[in-house]
Chains A and B, each alone.
Chain A
C-alpha cells in the first residue's frame, strides 16, 4: 500500500473528532433544518441533465471539525457532488433535493435554488474549495499575494487593501512558503507545483471557512509533496474547527486523513461508514472490489492484481436497479431492483442485495 507516511495524522490520532455515534440530541429521522453541529447536510440530492440522472438520492452530512471522505472511480459523481454543494453546476444541470450549509456565524443557507447573489456570499467565505490541478487553479497574470488578498477583499473579512496584503503574506508564511514576502510578489509560473498548491490552500483557508471541500487536492503532486500538503490542509482545518469533505480515488489518502467515508458509484452513495469499518470490513461488493484493487499485497492465483471487471459506464448508461450489477460477479436477478439502504442512517450503511458477509471478508478473494 502506498500510504503517505510522515506528518499526516492518522485518523485515530485526530483529537477534535466528532463522536462516532449519533449524538443523543439528534432525532433518528432527518430534521427539516440542520442541527447546529452540521456544517453540511445534503438530503436526497438529485442532479439531472435532460432525461439523464447523474446523481441519485445522495445523502451526506459533515459536522463541525469532522473530516469526511468521498471515494469512488472517475465518473462516479464525486466532483459533481462537490460542485452541487458550491452551487457551481453548469446551467444545463438541474439539482433537486436539499443542500443545507451552516456558516461560521451559524447562518443556514439552502444552496439548491438559491439566488446567485446569496451563493456568491457563501462561496469563498463559509464554503471554500481546493481544486485538483495546482497548475491551472491560479490566474497566471496575477501575483499570488494579490490572489490570496483578493479572496479576503471579496468578502470584506479585512478592513482595507494593506491589511489584506499583510494577511496574505502571513497566510503564505503559515502554509510554509519560504520567504513569503518574496513569494507574494511572484507569479504562479515562478512557483513549483507543491508551492502553488500551498498558495491554493492559503486561499481556501483565508476566510476561516466552516466547510472546506477538497477535490483531489494532491493527485497532481508527487508523493513526498503530497504528504506535506495533506498535513497542511488537515492542520488548517483542525485549527479552524471546520468540516472537511475530501474527494479522492486514493484510498490510502482517505485512510490517513478522514474519519468517515462515503463510497460513490454511478451517481449513488453505495456505502458509508467509519473509515476503519469500511476499509477493514466492507459490505458493498463495489467497496470490496475497490479495496481489493488497491491492495498491492493481494494477487490472484495467476499472480496478477485484483481488478474490478469492466469499466465505469458513461453517465446515464448505468443499469437500473443496482448500479454496479453489470460489473459484479455476485449479481442475480434480484439486483435488477434497487437495493434498500441497510444501516443506521446516512452516515453508516450500504445498499447491496448480496453484501460481503463477515466470514467472506476474512478470506483472501476480494471479488
Chain B
C-alpha cells in the first residue's frame, strides 16, 4: 500500500525537468502533508515541550518534588511568590511536582509503547509469517489477553508486583500488545504472498532479510499511527491506576495521583486548583499526542481521504 502510493504522488516538479533538485523523498512528501494540518503542528509543539520538560525535570523544577513544608501548605497559585502554582497539602511545590509528573507520565507511556511494539512485531511476525502452529498458539494467546477485563486485571497485577514506575509500565504493556500484534499479523499476511516478496525469495533472500527489508517498511506507517494513538491511551492508563492508588509510589508525583489528592478537599472551591493543575496538564499532553497522531495518519496514510461523492 505504502510503496505503491509513494510513486503516485510525485510532485509536479518531477515532470517539469530539473528533476534532480525538485524530486521530494517520501519523508518530505509526508512532512508537507503533515504541515497542512495546523492542529498537528500544535500537537507536535505540545509534545516536544512536554518531552523537554520531562527530560530536563531535575534542572527545571524549582524545588525537589518531595520537599515538604507544612507552614506553607495549601497556598493557592499566585498567593506566594516562592511557589508560582501554589503548594499541595504537604506544602510541596505544585510546579515542581507537575514537572516531575511529566517525566513519570512520559517515562511510563513511552517505555510501555516500546515494549508493546517489540512484542507486537515479534509475535505478529511469527504468527503471520510462519502460520501453522505459531499462528494457532498465538491467536489463542491474543484471545486470552484480549478477554482480560483491563482495569480489573491491571489492579490485580499491580497488587502482586507492587507499585512503581517499572511495575505500572509492565501492567500497562502486558495488556496492550494484542491489538497491535493483530495489526502486524494482518499486514504480514497481506504482503507475504506478493510478487516482490516471492521474487526476493527466489533470488535467495532469507527470512530475516525479507522481514527486515521488505515486510517491516510496509508495516511501519500504520504502526507509527497506531503508536501515536497508543501513547495517550497509556498516559491515561497510568494516571487512572495512580489515581486509584495502584500506580506510582509516593513520594514520586504522578498527575493521576495529584488529581486523586483533590478527593478530600472537594467541598471547598478554594482548593480546586490542586486538581485543576494536573488535570489540565494531563489533558494537554494527551491532546498533543492525539493531534500529532491525527496529522501523522493524514501524512502517512494517503488513502484516508478518498471519496468521489
Whether both chains belong to one complex is answered with no
Partner-B contacts on A (CB < 8 A): none
